[in-house]
A and B are shown apart, each in its own frame.
Chain A
Amino acid sequence: MNKYLLILFLAILCTSGILLAEDFKEGIKLAEGKNVININFGFNPFYVEDLVKIYPEITTVTYNDSEKELGYVNVFGGIGDNFMIYPNQTYEITTRKEVTLNLK
């Protein structure tokens, strides 16, 4: 029982702010600060720059695969890698205030 509690604690600790978005098809709610999201419903891929234009509250978006990190920062008109956002990939999104993403 203790083992399960420990696993549960770690899961909460490390996935705080992680949203498995299948439960939020009508909108992905991002809290102020850092969020890690994995959007596992289908949508048309789009550029991170376009996401930030629609949601200027987003300050950074980061994608990290095993080889390299791609980052985009919403400052100086947008700097960094203008990478594609795909379904079923994990992204870190930082926002300066709470925002709800509505993806199609």
Chain B
Amino acid sequence: MKKILTLNLLAIFLIMPWCSAAHYIVGFVENAKDSANADGHSILLWNPSAGINDNLSDTIGPLGNSNTNNIYMIDCELLNNGCSVGNILTLKILNNGDNYVSGETNVSVAGYGYDIVNNITLNSPPNISSVEVDDDLTIPSNEIDLIPADTKEVTCRAIVTEYDGKNTLANATGKFFDNSISNYSATDDNNMHYTNNSCYINYSYGNINEAEVLCKFYVWYYANAQNWNCTVDVNDNLSIHSRKGDLTFINPLLALGLDSVIDFNIVSDRDVSNESKFNVTNYGNVKINLSLSGYGFKENDGNAMNCSLGEIKNISISNERFNLTKSNSGEMNLSEFGNKYVNLTSYPDVKKFNLDYRKNDLLNDAINLTYWRIYVPRGVYGDCQGNIIFGAVQAPGD
């Protein structure tokens, strides 16, 4: 009797592992609609009620448990918590880096040793077939001309092919950035990086698998004159994305802004006026010097101003002088006036100013003062008016 019991115990210990039997979850994975093969991809199984950390995986196809094309086979009893009839298990294909995944599919554990999961289709990632970036002037192509003191609308247009149906496209974003000193992931800065997080998806475009994505950017006049990259990123409803870019060039913009009038107030003849300050603003995207010239009534007349009274009625061009770097306050005699200020000329003369373009998005830091005085010669009276022509010239080394 004792011997029989011992044998029974031995049998129990030998067979104990079989107390938790196998139960297979099997299914068929259809190749992606763009023809990518499902074989070789990994599929994950877990019981949501136990959490995804307790999971099992298999390789679809001949390299996996099934040894069969497009089929997977997982013994759910190997979960740490096992599986039993009535359990709802979830499966999904993992992203192995090629962006082919699947949505989640559920299966209910029943009897007879296995359960078949509804067919899963390998999801095709969206494919951006083309990207073009330009402004409203498409000729010449790949050039963007900014607008002084304003923004310019730049559009990135992408054509997307989505074999799972265009309606599976969930959202599109775009980045437009200076390709030389910025990058896709950089933060926004009007000089070098712009983001559009809600590009327009035109589902009416093309066939059932095509859509058009339009990303608009409003680019400021002080965006760097460089090669720029517009990259469009499209997500489908499984958060799988595709990204593609195109290059363009932002042309240099020479532009400046000025106060409207230099007012010297009342000046007696044979006196030098007080100093008048005059703002010059760089409204372009390159460092500028100034080209300066003046005239009284018409260009090259040799005068700075025409006056309404007096014997002469003209102030010679050489009597209007400026200093582009330093203020000299207070009254001034003619000699000091000559030493500390440079005379205006009738012809354009380029003067070093080195006014950099705007670099601060919050306040305009591309403004410099210029300083002006005029000497009124003997015999000039009345109201005097003249013209100063400011020109912007690209400063060397910019």
**Which chain A residues have a beta carbon within 8 Å of chain B's beta carbons?**
4, 7-8, 10-11, 14-15, 18, 20, 33-34, 36, 38, 59-60, 62, 64, 69, 71, 73, 75-77, 79-82, 90, 92, 94-96
Contact = CB atoms under 8 A, between A and B. Distances in A.
A50 to B, nearest CB: 16
Interface in B1-24: 5, 8-9, 11-12, 14-19, 21-22, 24
B19 A14 contact: yes
Nearest to B65: A80
Nearest to A66: B17
A60 B9 CA distance: 28
Contacts of B196: none
B334 interface: no
Given A4-B5, A59-B112, A71-B75, A14 B15 contact: yes
Contact of A7 (B9, B65, B75): B9
Contacts of B114: 59-60, 73, 75, 94
Contacts of A18: 15, 18
B71 A76 contact: yes
A79 B5 contact: no
Contacts of B18: 14, 18, 36, 64, 90, 92
Contacts of A80: 24, 65-67, 73
B168 interface: no
A6 to B, nearest CB: 12
B22 A69 contact: yes
B94 interface: no
A21 to B, nearest CB: 13
Given A76-B26, A80-B67, A71 B73 contact: yes
B31 to A, nearest CB: 16
A34 B21 contact: yes
9 contacts: A14-B18, A59-B114, A60-B112, A60-B114, A62-B21, A79-B66, A80-B24, A92-B21, A94-B112
Contact of A60 (B24, B28, B67): B24
A11 B12 contact: yes
- Considering residues A20, A64, A77, which has the most beta carbons from chain B within 10 angstroms of its beta carbon? A64
Contacts of B19: 14
B134 to A, nearest CB: 53
Contacts of B9: 7
Nearest to A18: B15
Contacts of A59: 112-114
A96 B114 CA distance: 11
A97 B67 CA distance: 26
B136 to A, nearest CB: 58
Contacts of B111: 33
Given A92-B21, A92-B22, A14 B65 contact: no
A36 B24 CA distance: 16
Contacts of A14: 12, 15-16, 18-19
B21 A7 contact: no
A33 B110 CA distance: 11
A40 to B, nearest CB: 11
A18 B16 CA distance: 11
A10 B66 CA distance: 34
A67 to B, nearest CB: 12
A75 B26 contact: yes
Contacts of B78: 69
B116 interface: yes
A15 B68 contact: no
A7 B113 contact: no
Contacts of A38: 15
B15 A15 contact: yes
B15 A73 contact: no
Nearest to B28: A76
A98 to B, nearest CB: 13
